[in-house]
Every structure is written in structure tokens, then in C-alpha cells.
Amino acid sequence: MLKLRVSDIKQFVYCPRILYFTYVLPVDKKVTRKMTYGQERHVELDCLEKRRKLKRYNLAEGERKFHTHLYSPRLGLEGKLDLHIICGQEFFPVEFKNTLKGPGLNHKYQLTAYAMLLEDVYRRPVRYGFIYLIPTGTIHELEITPNMRQHVKEIMTKIRCMVKGQSMPGTAIRKQRCVDCEYRKFCGDVI
Ligand code: SF4
């Protein structure tokens, strides 16, 4: 079984063709200014987050763990989670996102994939997770539903089928995503 990364789930929801350029026909993508800036903000945020109260997450108390590498052989999935909070018997994943637009579907399924990894690795239930929007400092709570878990599994199956069949998927549904995409020069059929 092809081992996938949690970021693959996020990318596939954004545009399936990105996964084609990752696994079937690997290319050197350009590192955008937005990506570098996002990494710098993550470092700043780690320092701030350590001093903040968990009340922001509607949690009374708990332990914070940063940048945990998670791997599930059963799911064939791995990833490095920005933060998770351990509160009694429960685990809550937190993802930091550098976007002004609010959490996208790709971020929600990425968080779901992390929730599934946490459950598999630590054998603890994960009912909710959080998406922290860096520019506004707002925290969005997300329920991890059975349908969302099922959808993540279906995405993983689609990625593995695409890689096995070496078939190039269609372009992103929202064409504005192509405008500053780091893979744009490899996509001959987008304008
Ligand atoms: S340029 Fe558009 S179609 Fe090509 S990978 Fe990027 S988002 Fe997808």
C-alpha cells in the first residue's frame, strides 16, 4: 500500500492534479513567498501559543504537544501535526493556517486525517479538532464526523488508484486556484 502524507489529502481536495505532479510525474515546484512567510509565522506562533490559555479552545485544562510525527501502518498514512491537546482521555488536533479566507474544505479534511491518525496511534477518541487562522487569530471548532472520516478514506483510495493507473486528473474546479499555483507551468491546459 502506497504510504501517503496528510498534506496529500489537503492537496487532493484543493486540486487532484497536484498529486499527479507529486507521485506520478514529479516536478520541481517553485517555493512561493507565501510558503516561506507561512513557515516563519508558524515559528512565531509556537512561542505565543505556549503562553496562551486553553480557554481559547473552550477547554478547561490539558497538555499541549507540538509538532508530533504520527504514522499509522493500518491507514498507510503519516504526518506532522502542528499541535494536539490532551485533555483527560480525549485528544484534540489543532492545525494553524495562514489564510484570510476562513478554513477551506481542504483544511477540514486535513484536520480529519490528523484526527484519524491520533486515534490510531494513541487509541483515544477524537470528537473535535480546531483550525487556528493565523492572520485573524480566530479558532474554528470542527466536529469530526463519520462521513468526514469516510471521505478521507475515499480520497486515499482515489490517490492510490490515480498513482497506480498513472492517469492525469482534470484541472482544479475553481480556476482562480491556478493563478498562483506553483505547478502552473506544468499544466499545459490551464490559461
Ligand atoms: S495549475 Fe491549476 S490545474 Fe494545475 S495543478 Fe495548479 S491548481 Fe491544479
Task: Give the pLDDT score at 109.
Answer: 97
If you take atom 7 of ligand 1, which residue's CA is the nearest one?
Answer: 178
pTM: 0.89
Q: Which atom of ligand 1 is nearest to 171's Cα? A: 3
Give 112-158 pLDDT, tens digit per residue.
Answer: 999 999 999 999 989 999 999 988 889 999 999 999 999 999 999 99
Residue 179 has pLDDT above 90, yes or no: no
Give 22-68 pLDDT, tens digit per residue.
Answer: 999 998 876 665 555 566 566 666 766 776 778 888 888 889 999 99
Q: What residues contact residue 139 under an 8 Å CB cut-off, 6+ apart?
A: 56, 57, 130, 131, 132, 133
Q: What percent of the chain has pLDDT over 70?
A: 87
Task: Give the pLDDT score at 39.
Answer: 62
Handedness of CA 170, 81, 2, 75 (dihedral sign): negative
Ligand 1 pocket residue status of 183, Cβ below 6 Å: yes
Q: How far is the CA of 121 from the centre of ligand 1 (A)?
A: 33
Instruction: Name the residue with higher pLDDT: 30 or 1.
Output: 1
Residue 102 has pLDDT above 80, yes or no: yes
Ligand 1 pocket residue status of 177, Cβ below 6 Å: yes
Ligand 1 pocket residue status of 168, Cβ below 6 Å: no
Half-sphere exposure in the Cβ direction for 144 (13 Å, CA): 25
Q: What percent of the chain has pLDDT over 90?
A: 60
Q: How confident is the model at residue 99 (pLDDT cuts 50, 70, 90)?
A: confident
Q: Residue 98: how many CB atoms within 10 A of its CB?
A: 16
Please give the CATH number for the structural domain made up of 4-186: 3.90.320.10
Ligand 1 pocket residue status of 29, Cβ below 6 Å: no
Give 63-97 pLDDT, tens digit per residue.
Answer: 999 999 999 999 999 999 999 999 989 999 999 98
For a substitution probing ligand 1, which of 8, 11, 13, 18 has the most ligand atoms within 8 Å of its CB? Answer: 18
Task: Give the pLDDT score at 35.
Answer: 59
Q: Give the C-alpha separation, 183 to 27, whole Å.
A: 8
